[in-house]
A and B are shown apart, each in its own frame.
Chain A
Amino acid sequence: MTFKDRYDMVVIGSGPGGLAAAISAKKNGAQDVLVIERDVEPGGILLQCIHNGFGVEVFKQDLPGPAYAQRFINEAYQVGVDFLLDTMVLEITRDHRITATSKRYGFLNIQAKAVVLAMGCRERTRAQVRLPGARPAGVFTAGTAQRWVNVEGYMPGKNFVILGSGDIGMIMARRLTFEGAKVERVLEVMPYLSGLTRNYVQCLMDYDIQLQLMHTVKNIIGKKRVEAIEAVAVDEKWNYIPGTEEIIPCDTLLLSVGLIPENELSRQAGVLIDPVTAGPFVDDGFQTNIPGIFSAGNVVHVYDLVDWVTEAGLIAGKSAARLIQAGPQKTEKVIPVKAGENVRYVVPHTLNPDHLIEGEIRVQMRVRQPIEAPVWVEVRSGERLLHRKPEPYARPGEMVTIFLKPALLDEVKAANGLSVAIAKR
């Protein structure tokens, strides 16, 4: 197969965000769309997420990750998206020139009218949580273990301790149990779960796997391979509580201590990164500060659900297609959206009120502190309340979504900025 050196749109990454963006761009009039993927097949991390739980929003079905990906892969091929697989993008410039390299296709230079960044996210490591102890084999991120167990077909240990109650960690606890391994313990430094409650029920409770909140790893023991870990209870400030140490024999420590958007290519291109989300500043069409460079999915902020990644990709693809066909549109006014009380961040960072004419605008946020009681999610312009939505509770592990309705057009237009807050009802 040969590839052109010019495309209307190039998408970096073929995970759910990239696939949705490519399909949506094509359906919205982009002529030729190329997806560049570093792996030898499209689908991204979904291919190793063989557990179910995907597609409840988009398909109203409970699908495994590969099945969810397959539907979009099939659709992408149907609508005529090109795929450049086993290829790594080395650089993207402000004016949309892409340099990539591949064992199959050699060195490639491609000019695009628009680029969608869909590189997803990576896992935080033991260094980032400053985990002390020895450095033997047997300390892996949950995602690396997941790839081995589910894709490569090998078990990276017999007895596991998992640090972090992120979704991947809990899902791996069940997966490893399914394949005959023993999960000794899941430790979480926070006083609350960092993943979804349903994963706690289905993955840990169902298999009697013990979860200890406010616990962490104080020491990793082992010369060549992990022999044990020393667990310890912590206070609210993560200080070890003396006397609570416990040696847990195990041969593997899995880390599920958070995900970080992967934005090194974005930075090189001059895309501005929000230090809170670690993803680009975006408008409601997921365009970054660089005209014609869009971003979709976990590269923007880490979502709880793949369905929302898909929806973000659909919006980004549509915006990119519009830009390709009509050129850059003059915006009369851009409205900043700020995180208010008890909101850690909100996406998008800005919005174009004129887009409300076409339909509602999705606004997503993460709460700072958990509130286990009914709350209001409130949108204000200055002091004035524009919109509020009730939620039964607010948890940091679960993203909150609201929609700004077209009826708010005039008020949003008149605003100097919007702020979003979450407070007890």
Chain B
Amino acid sequence: MKTYDIIIIGGGVVGCMTARALSRYNLKVLMIEQESDIGMGASSANSAIIHSGHDPMPGTLKAEMNRLANPMWDQLISELGIPFKRSGAYIVAIGEEEFGCLAALSERARQNSVKTEVINANEMRKKEPLINPAVSGALFTPSAGMVDPFSACVAPLENAIQNGVKVMTDTEFISFITNGRRIVGVHTNRGDFTCRWVVNAAGIYSDEIMHTAGVRPDFKINPRRGEYYILDKTEIEMNNILFPVPSKVSKGILVLGSTHGNVLVGPNTQQTPDKEDKSVTGDGLNEIWQGAQKLIPSLNQRAIIAVFAGLRATGNALCTSSKVDYHHDFVIEVAKEVEGLVNLAGIESPGLTAAPAIAERVVELLKDAGELLTKKQDWNPIRLARPRFNYMTRKEQEELVARDAHYGRIVCRCEMVTEGEIVAEIHAPLPAKTYDAIKRRTWLGTGRCLGSFDMPRVVEILSSELGISVSEVSKKGTGSEFLFRPTKEVDA
């Protein structure tokens, strides 16, 4: 039986950042992920924002983690090569009544130690010419930014792998191995592994993992689905993050220019009992469209190139501070009922922003629990981003093609993704083994044609690079294969 010091369950942004933080120490770390790739849950289907921290209720873990994490991103992106832009964000008031709400928002931001600035309607129009003419003003939060959320998973995890962390995908947690009160390992569909600590970073499944160990029986994840549109960058260009004045339950339907240049619109909020239900609905799509048009009335449905939905891992944990009446706080703790379990649960928004601070908090919790963590002498904080043809100058592109001819062949016309990039992802430290894995890493197939052109070509490249038959190539793991038999083998 393989033995580790720490096993992390779940390869979302929280698990990936934690893996990297732990890789700095002399520890044997394993991450297990039940899906065929990391980051397939909420971590890759969200609003892609590094929040300033103006919004969470003061005194909560959400507010604290957001405040601590926001400034960490500058160093992270330079070490890890994550697409990121500290653009600031606007909470836009439409009509006079909403303008009155900005003061309260500004006050909450102050309590969270977040700098804001109220700007008038004219300034807002200047910043975003497409804004609703009925704009009455906005609250500007300069420390907000936009990030490529999947890069925020894969980049730290690749860096962790460089520094010795082992990752197993398609590996499902079944149950804990215990010795009395102490958790000493996990049973998985791919064998048993022993360890001294388990970090539960299982996202929407984090409650079920706890319950397996008899921990926090009342804790429950009630997934809330959020639907989004992506708009064609050739049809609409926007560089800002625009929030509406928020409602009680959510930050509302926002419109932003993503790091890839496409405009992102969403999300709404729908309770769903099904943890796999990432479907989009006609009603939901209408709702987010109407919400977005409140900010940008000129949005044209012709510009829509993709729709998707993500599931927020909304928990029901009380705020650890008894002074704050809040029921959906993060859980970041060493479990009390058993030994050897760290729970990272209920990590919904601002979870992407907060992930690096949560990871550091895990290190502190382990130290507090008596782990003697010693730093590796040879820890390398740098993970180099791989070339992205579409974001290079012509001169850089020419040099890249001259260096490696694979980068000369464009496989995805809309997003200008080359064969070289696809091959590089298949052979990366964390290999991309499915179509969607390539898509999340390169943004191939996310443009106007949604992969109609590139799909057969990518299937062929995956088949030849992985040495498998084309009928074994899948969209997102076993059971999602594209092709099932040669055309002429009707009776086979």
Inter-chain contact B480/A132, CB cutoff 8 Å: no
Number of interface residues of A (CB under 8 A): 52
B380 within 8 A of A: no
Residue B182 lies at the interface, judged by CB distance under 8 Å to chain A: no
The answer to whether B488 and A179 have CB atoms under 8 Å apart is yes
B471 within 8 Å of A by Cβ?
A: yes
Interface residues of A in 207-241 (CB under 8 A from B): 218-220, 223-225
Contacting residues of chain B (252-277) with chain A, CB-CB under 8 angstroms? 276-277
CB of A155 within 8 A of CB of B402, answer no
Q: Which of A105, A122, A137, A157 touches B476 (beta carbons < 8 Å)?
A: A137
| Interface assignment of B413: CB less than 8 Å from any CB of chain A | yes
**Which of A16-24, A27-35, A144-152, A370-378 contacts its partner?**
A144-152
Per-residue CB contact flags for chain B residues 463-492 toward chain A (1 = under 8 Å, else 0) read 000000011001111111111111110110
A130–B304 CB distance below 8 A = yes
Is the beta-carbon distance between A133 and B279 smaller than 8 angstroms?
Answer: yes
Residue of A102, A128, A147 touching B409 (CB-CB under 8 A): A102
User: Once bound together, how far apart are the Cα atoms of A425 and B276, in whole Å?
Assistant: 58
* Nearest chain B CB to A168 CB, angstrom units: 11
Asked whether, in the complex, the Cβ of B305 is within 8 Å of the Cβ of A88, the reply is no
Give every chain B residue within 8 A of A107 (Cβ-Cβ). Answer: 397-398, 401-402, 408
* Complexed CA–CA distance, A143 and B451 (Å): 11
Rounded to whole angstroms, the CA-CA distance of A105 and B402 in the bound complex is 10
A118-151 contact mask (Cβ, 8 Å, vs B): 1 or 0: 0000110111101011111100110110011111
| A38 CB within 8 Å of chain B | yes
Contact check: which of A86, A155, A158 meets B487 at CB < 8 Å? A155
- Asked whether B481 lies within 8 Å of A137 as measured between CB atoms, the reply is yes
Contact check, B483 vs A148: say whether CB atoms are below 8 A apart: yes
Q: Is A6 an interface residue (CB 8 A)?
A: no
> Is the pair A147, B480 in contact by a Cβ cutoff of 8 Å?
no
B-side contacts of A267, CB under 8 Å: 234
A180 proximal to B (CB < 8 A): yes
Q: Does A71 contact B (CB under 8 A)?
A: no
B443 within 8 A of A: no
Interface residues of B in 24-54 (CB under 8 A from A): none
A12 to B414, CA, bound (A): 16
Our count of residue pairs bridging A and B at CB distance below 8 angstroms stands at 149
The answer to whether B280 and A125 have CB atoms under 8 Å apart is no
Give chain B nearest CB distance to A274 CB in angstroms.
13
Q: How does the 8 Å CB contact mask read for B228-252 relative to A, with 1 for contact and 0 for none? A: 0110001000000000000000000
CB of B405, distance to nearest CB on chain A (Å): 5
Q: Are A144 and B406 in contact (CB under 8 A)?
A: no
Does any Cβ of B come within 8 Å of A156's Cβ?
yes
Nearest Cβ on chain A to B387's Cβ, whole angstroms:
13
**Is A3 an interface position by the 8 A CB rule?**
no
Quick one: given A107-B398, A224-B476, are A128 and B305 in contact (CB under 8 Å)? yes
Does B450 belong to the interface (CB within 8 Å)?
yes
Question: Is A330's CB within 8 Å of the partner chain B?
Answer: no
> For residue A153, which residues in chain B have a CB less than 8 angstroms away from its CB?
486-488
A101 touches which of B410, B474, B486 (Cβ 8 Å): B410
Binds A, one of B64-72, B127-135, B150-158, B452-460: B452-460
Q: Do residues B279 and A135 form an inter-chain contact, with CB atoms below 8 A? A: yes
In the complex, chain B residues whose CB is within 8 Å of the CB of A122: 448-449, 452-453
Query: A103 within 8 Å of B by Cβ?
Result: yes
A232 CB to nearest B CB, Å: 10
Contact of A103 among B230, B282, B419 (CB under 8 A): B419
The size of the chain B interface, using a CB distance under 8 A, is 61
Alpha-carbon distance A148/B456, docked complex (angstroms): 7
Knowing A90-B416, A134-B278 are in contact, say whether A152-B450 is a contact too (CB < 8 A). Answer: no
Q: Does A264 contact B (CB under 8 A)?
A: yes
CA distance A151 to B449 in the complex (A): 20
Interface string of A66-96 (1 = CB under 8 A from B): 0000000000000000000010101100000
* Contact flag A179-B490 (CB < 8 Å), given A127-B307, A135-B308: yes
Chain A residue at minimum C-beta to C-beta distance from B449 = A122
**Could you say which of B285, B301, B483 contacts A155, with CB atoms under 8 Å apart?**
B483
Establish whether residues A155 and B394, one from each chain, have CB atoms under 8 Å apart when the complex forms. Answer: no
A381 at the interface (CB under 8 A from B): no
Known: A88-B413, A122-B448, A264-B234. A132 touches B280 (CB 8 A): yes
What does DSSP make chain A's interface, helix, strand, loop or mixed?
A: mixed
Specify which chain A residues have a CB less than 8 angstroms from the CB of B452 in the assembled complex: 122-123, 125, 140-141, 143-144
Q: Which residues of A contact B402 (CB under 8 A)?
A: 106-107
Shortest distance in angstroms between A33's beta carbon and chain B's nearest beta carbon? 23
The distance in angstroms between the C-alpha atoms of A105 and B416, with both chains bound, is 17
B306 at the interface (CB under 8 A from A): yes
Residues A137 and B475 in contact, CB atoms below 8 Å apart: yes
Contact A127 B413 (CB under 8 A): no
Instruction: Write out, one digit per residue, whether chain B residues 198-223 have a CB within 8 A of any chain A CB (1) or not (0).
Output: 00000000000000000000000000
Bound CA–CA A107/B403 (angstroms): 11
A99, CB-defined interface residue at 8 Å: yes
Closest to B470 in A: A154
Query: Is B281 an interface position by the 8 A CB rule?
Result: yes
A104: B residues at CB distance < 8 A: 405, 408
* Chain B residues with CB under 8 A of A158: 484
Partner of A152, one of B234, B453, B460, B484: B460
Q: Contact between B480 and A137 (Cβ–Cβ < 8 Å)?
A: yes
Contact (A99, B394) CB under 8 Å given A132-B279, A156-B482, A267-B234: yes
> Which chain B residues (69-99) contact chain A, with CB distance < 8 Å?
none
Does A38 contact B304, Cβ atoms closer than 8 Å? no
Q: Is the CB of A155 within 8 A of B279?
A: no
State how many angstroms separate the Cβ of A281 from the closest Cβ of chain B.
Answer: 18
> Given A106-B408, A125-B305, A133-B279, A144 and B484 touching (CB < 8 A)?
no
Given contacts A126-B450, A179-B490, contact A135 B278 (CB under 8 A): yes
Q: How far is the CA of A158 from the CA of B489 in the complex (A)?
A: 12
Report chain B residues within 8 Å CB of A134: 277-279
* Chain A residues within an 8 Å CB radius of B405: 103-104, 106
Cβ of A127 and Cβ of B406 under 8 Å apart? no
A residues less than 8 Å from B410 (CB atoms): 38, 88, 90, 101
Instruction: Report how far A103 CA is from B408 CA in the complex, Å.
Output: 4
- Point out the residues of chain A lying under 8 angstroms from B413, CB to CB: 38, 88
Chain B, residue nearest A181 (CB) = B490
Query: What are the residues of chain A within 8 A of B481 when measuring CB–CB?
Result: 137, 225
**A-chain residues with CB within 8 Å of residue B280 when the two chains form the complex:** 132-133, 135
Q: What A residues does B480 contact at CB under 8 A?
A: 136-137, 224-225
Instruction: Name the interface residues of B101-138: CB closer than 8 Å to any CB of A.
Output: none
Most A CB within 10 A of own CB, among B406, B408, B480, B484: B408
Inter-chain contact A224/B477, CB cutoff 8 Å:
yes
Query: Which of B306, B401, B448, B475 makes the CB contact (< 8 A) with A136?
Result: B475
Instruction: Please give the distance in Å from B456's CB to the nearest CB on chain A.
Output: 5
Chain A residues within an 8 Å CB radius of B449 = 122-123, 125
Against A, the Cβ 8 Å flags (1 = close, 0 = not) of B418-451 are 0100000000000000000000000000001111
Report B-chain residues with C-beta under 8 Å of the C-beta of A218: 282
Chain B residues, Cβ within 8 Å of A88: 409-410, 413
A156, B279: Cα distance in complex, Å: 22
Which 8 pairs between the two chains have the least Cβ-Cβ distance?
A: A180-B490, A224-B479, A137-B475, A103-B409, A224-B480, A88-B410, A137-B480, A154-B483
Contacts A/B (CB < 8 Å), 9 sampled = A107-B408, A122-B449, A122-B452, A130-B301, A137-B480, A144-B456, A153-B488, A155-B484, A179-B490
Q: Which chain B residues have a beta carbon within 8 Å of chain A's beta carbons?
A: 229-230, 234, 276-282, 284-285, 301-302, 304-308, 394, 397-398, 401-402, 405-406, 408-410, 413-414, 416, 419, 448-453, 455-456, 460, 470-471, 474-488, 490-491
User: Which positions in A face B, CB cutoff 8 Å?
Assistant: 38, 86, 88, 90-91, 99, 101-107, 122-123, 125-128, 130, 132-137, 140-141, 143-144, 147-158, 179-180, 218-220, 223-225, 264, 267
